[in-house]
Structure formats: structure tokens, C-alpha cells
Amino acid sequence: DTAVSQTPKYLVTQMGNDKSIKCEQNLGHDTMYWYKQDSKKFLKIMFSYNNKELIINETVPNRFSPKSPDKAHLNLHINSLELGDSAVYFCASSQDRAAGGNEQYFGPGTRLTVT
Amino acid sequence: GQQLNQSPQSMFIQEGEDVSMNCTSSSIFNTWLWYKQDPGEGPVLLIALYKAGELTSNGRLTAQFGITRKDSFLNISASIPSDVGIYFCAGQLRIFGNEKLTFGTGTRLTIIP
């Protein structure tokens, strides 16, 4: 069973279009994240939701809008796509714990190419 | 945003060799995680560390949480072909409501036949 799944795996689109990426986790976790990995493989947090509530919003253009219909799903909608949005987008999830750290589990990624 | 310095950037080794890599930060963390990423896949969690000085093993992998809380180390013993990939450290300063991971720049491991 896939723990964190994303669709689509690949997304090729033209500048100016609007697109969405979907993420689902079946781990029963409370918190979900979106990360962006650039061409140099650097991973950077974009957003985090805990029980459908936005808790982290890094400096991301407001063309990016996350939506969490329930705690098992976190979707990412991108408006007016730009060339610089080309990257691999990873969804992740973790279980909130009172003590200790929280281990984040990643999906397989969505490779977005904007032409 | 902050990046963690990971070294070396890349390693070329022969099968059977031991590997060491480390990660340093300018600020402290209370959790260190090590991930491996294969081409076309998402990062997979290898080891999690929660206490300064902690040494944890997972098979041939051993990681340590530095005593200053600003660094961490990963060792791989007797490397095998499936160890090829990019290894990332990630630090976390756990404050309620902020669980973000700050990732290192990655160490790319290649095994020379």
C-alpha cells in the first residue's frame, strides 16, 4: 500500500496555465507538507497543514494556493504558471507528537515542466 | 532561507568501502533526520535522531547527533551498489506549530565498478 501518493507524476504545461497537484496519505498523520526541489536538488518547504489548518507558509508567491479538504489530503493549485515554477514538487506527511521529533514521509514527487 | 552545509558534495567509492558524510548548521536543532533519494523518487527516511550525542544504527548505517546540536554525521559501512543515490540531512527545531525541516545540500554517492 502506498503511504503518500501524488498525482500526476509528470505534468507538462505552458506558461500562463493553471494546474493542480494532488496528494493523499493513508498513514493517519495529522500534518502534511509541500516541498519544492529545484534543479540542484535543493529541497525547500513551501506549506504545512495540520488538521486542515495552515501552519507554515514560507515565502511563496500567492499564485500557489494549497487546499486541504481533510487531513488525509493536501492539494496544490498553481495559477499563471511561470518558467521558474519548473521543479519537482513533493508532498510529505508526519504525525504530530507531544514529545520527540516528527518524522516526515515523502511522496514520489510530481515533476512539473513549464514551457 | 537557511541551508545546511553538507559535505562532501559527492563521493566516488568502490564497492565495499566505508562512507562518511556530515552536516553542519549555524543554528541548533533538536531533531536530525537522514534521508536517501533515488532518481525519480521521493526522499526515504533512513535514521532519526532526537538527543544530542545520540548514536543510532540502521543496518549498515550509523548516524550521530552532534553534541553541539549543530551537526550530524552519517556513516555507511561496506557499501553495496544499492547505496548509490543522494543522501540528505535535515534538521528540525521543534517548536509547537512549526515543524519544518531544513534540508542539507545533499551528498551524491556513486560506486565505481
Taking only the tens place, the pLDDT of each residue in A62-97 is 999 999 999 899 999 999 999 999 999 999 998 866
pLDDT interval class at A49 (50, 70, 90): confident
Q: Do A43 and B105 touch (CB under 8 A)?
A: no
Closest partner residue to B94 (CB to CB) among A41, A92, A101 is A101
Substitution target in B36, B101, B102, B105 with the highest count of A β-carbons within 10 Å is: B101
DSSP-derived letter for residue A27 is: S
Q: Name every chain B residue with its beta carbon within 8 A of the beta carbon of A105.
A: 45
Q: What pLDDT does residue A102 have?
A: 74
For A100, name the nearest residue in chain B, comparing CA atoms only: B50
User: With contact defined as beta carbons under 8 Å apart, do B1 and A44 qualify?
Assistant: yes
pLDDT interval class at A51 (50, 70, 90): confident
Q: What pLDDT does residue A53 have?
A: 83
Indicate the burial class of A22 (C-beta count within 10 angstroms; 0-12, 13-18, 19 or more). Answer: middle
Size of interface A-B (CB pairs under 8 A): 69
Flag whether pLDDT at A30 surpasses 90.
no
Question: Mean pLDDT, to the nearest integer, of B10-32?
Answer: 95
Cell 559527492 sits on residue: B10
Nearest CA-CA distance, residue A79 and chain B, Å: 24
Number of other CB atoms surrounding residue B98 within 10 Å: 11
Flag whether pLDDT at B4 surpasses 80.
yes
CA distances from A50 to A47, A57, A73, B42, B97 (A): 10, 12, 11, 21, 8
Flag whether pLDDT at A98 surpasses 60.
no
pLDDT interval class at A101 (50, 70, 90): low
pLDDT interval class at A33 (50, 70, 90): very high
Q: What pLDDT does residue B98 have?
A: 58
Flag whether pLDDT at B112 surpasses 60.
yes
Q: Do B3 and A42 touch (CB under 8 A)?
A: yes
Give the residue, B23 or A51, on which the prediction is more confident.
B23
Give the residue, B113 or B46, on which the prediction is more confident.
B46
Distance CA A49, CA A67 (A): 9
Q: Do A96 and B99 touch (CB under 8 A)?
A: yes
